[in-house]
Structure 1
Amino acid sequence: MIRDYIKDELYFKEYIAQQKQRIEKFQLKLDANEVAENRVFAVKEKIEALKFQILVAGYSSGERFGTLKGQYEEIVANMADFWDVDASYSDILWMLSIGIMLEIDDNSFDLLKDLVLQSEEQDFLLRYLIHYRDRDVDFMSSQFLHEAPYMYLGDVINKDQNTAVISLKNYLTEKWYEGNADSGWFDIHNEKEKLYYGYWSFESGAIAKIMDLDDDVLKGVPFYPYDLVHYKNSEG
């Protein structure tokens, strides 16, 4: 069943097919040595970015979790070669958050952890997520380096469970989308081209899982990945 109602199932089906065709086109050029040497890395990086967009679009369209987890693990395996935590903060944040909700294995999680810890950034939110799986990673001495909208999650993390749910709902309904106004994907659903793959606050789901929140009041709230938080109870 479709999870993101901003677009319909046909749209997401066509979007995913379009991105897969782009990957195939890029890969054929790489295999045929038709890409200039100084462009090879950029093309491979683009392929990985397209795979990530397909993953999110698959979640938006209602794809089964077994398929999504396989796609996710493939992306993680290549992240160290193509993803820069300092340049693509939201991508690393989403991958960590999705990994927490999918309960990925330690090897996959450690790949993401190492990417973050090797960075010069000492970001509170990233380190908080890592701390859930590795208690040796301190987050309390860090700050929210990307304040909008993520600093508002401090009102969730530092509160009791009942207050945290209320604060998380406020974050989702009042802070998250507008707080990402400078992101490349902001308002992308209005474009005529097929560029949209879904609006999801994956970090909200990860925090709800970490804090073991009673998130029934968040079911159906825009941007909240409810069934991903509870994926082991969902079909697939």
Structure 2
Amino acid sequence: MRTNLKTQDYFNYFINSENQRILKFDNWLEMGKVVENRIPSIKRQLFIISLNILIAKYTSGYAIEELRREFPLVINRFVEGWNDHDSTPEDDVHFDEYLLMLRMLSLGVLLETNQYDFNKIIEVLHKSNRKDDLFSFIISYKTGYPSMVNKLTYEQFRPLCETTKEMDKNKAIAILKNYLDNDWYKSMKLTYWYDNHKSKADIFFGYWSFESGVLVKILGLDDTTLKNQPYYPYDMVHWRETTIWN
């Protein structure tokens, strides 16, 4: 377990019930039971559910290698279910869209997704016609092309941009730690999953700043002080080292 907010039994139930929802929606689509104008929203749900399951598995302690094997399927669901084509404003209502894209890019690097599958994420982003400093920074690491964007869509992520631009690595990790300890969770109030652990429904899957983890990986920062930080995905940043030693 990588959280103390829920039990292992809770996560077993959550993962099983969400997988059942996926089977139900897939069957509906296969049997033609979904009216045409509802197909995009069903495919969107399939992407969200599959991503939530992946995160829940990380939270409940699954091995990273298993998540790596499953992530390409999440990417495919993402490609089929994403429907943002620059038709929405950059306001609070669409904060979730931004964070979902940031999570997909971050997970793509943390799970060391192959370039072919990672390019699928990039292609969806390009079709969305959205440009952002953090997106560009992560993509640059994966593709080797220089980051050419100097625009941050949401101020909530300003500390992350400051981290990428800080040349002193000790100062960079200090900025990141302060952000995670004091600002990250409360800045996520606009998301669909904020405070889900308090709900009577079984909808909690974990609280993780994967984007913080990917910056540590890219910048080569010493994250010793973040090892027990509740929102920092330490195991996902360091899984390759653990695999080698084991």
TM-score when scaled to structure 2? 0.89
SS at match of 1:122: coil
Structure 2 partner of 1:207:
215
- Consecutive unaligned residues of structure 2, counting only runs of 5 or more, are 87-93
Shift of 1:220: 0.6
Alignment partners' CA distance in 2, 1:33 and 1:41: 13
- Matched AA of 2:130: E
Deviations 1:149-197 (A, max 9, x none): x111122111111111111101101111111111111111100000110
- Matched AA of 1:129: I
Contact 2:180 2:232 survives alignment (8 Å): yes
The alignment status of 1:37 with 2:45, answered yes or no, reads no
Q: Would the alpha carbon gap of residues 195 and 120 (structure 1) be closer, same or farther in structure 2, given more than 3 Å must change?
A: same
Q: Would the alpha carbon gap of residues 229 and 84 (structure 1) be closer, same or farther in structure 2, given more than 3 Å must change?
A: farther
SS at match of 1:186: coil
1:193 to 201, 215, 234: 201
The alignment status of 1:177 with 2:169, answered yes or no, reads no
SS at match of 1:234: helix
Alignment partners' CA distance in 2, 1:15 and 1:228: 21
The alignment status of 1:226 with 2:234, answered yes or no, reads yes
- Matched AA of 1:52: L
Aligned pairs (5 A) from 1:36-185: 36-84=35-83, 88-139=97-148, 141-148=149-156, 150-159=157-166, 160-185=168-193
Deviations 1:75-97 (A, max 9, x none): 11342222245651111111111
**RMSD of Structure 2 on Structure 1 (CA):** 1.7
Contact 2:64 2:239 survives alignment (8 Å): yes
More divergent stretch after superposition (40-49 vs 9-18): 40-49
SS at match of 1:4: coil
SS at match of 1:176: coil
- Moved segments of 4+, more than 3 Å: 84-87
TM-score when scaled to structure 1? 0.93
Contact 2:72 2:117 survives alignment (8 Å): yes
Alignment partners' CA distance in 1, 2:138 and 2:184: 18
Alignment partners' CA distance in 1, 2:200 and 2:12: 16
- Matched AA of 2:74: I
Alignment partners' CA distance in 1, 2:190 and 2:144: 33
Alignment partners' CA distance in 1, 2:79 and 2:137: 20
Alignment partners' CA distance in 1, 2:77 and 2:15: 20
Give aligned pairs, total: 233
Structure 2 partner of 1:7:
6
Deviations 1:24-66 (A, max 9, x none): 2222222332222221222122112111110000000111122
Q: Would the alpha carbon gap of residues 118 and 47 (structure 1) be closer, same or farther in structure 2, given more than 3 Å must change?
A: closer
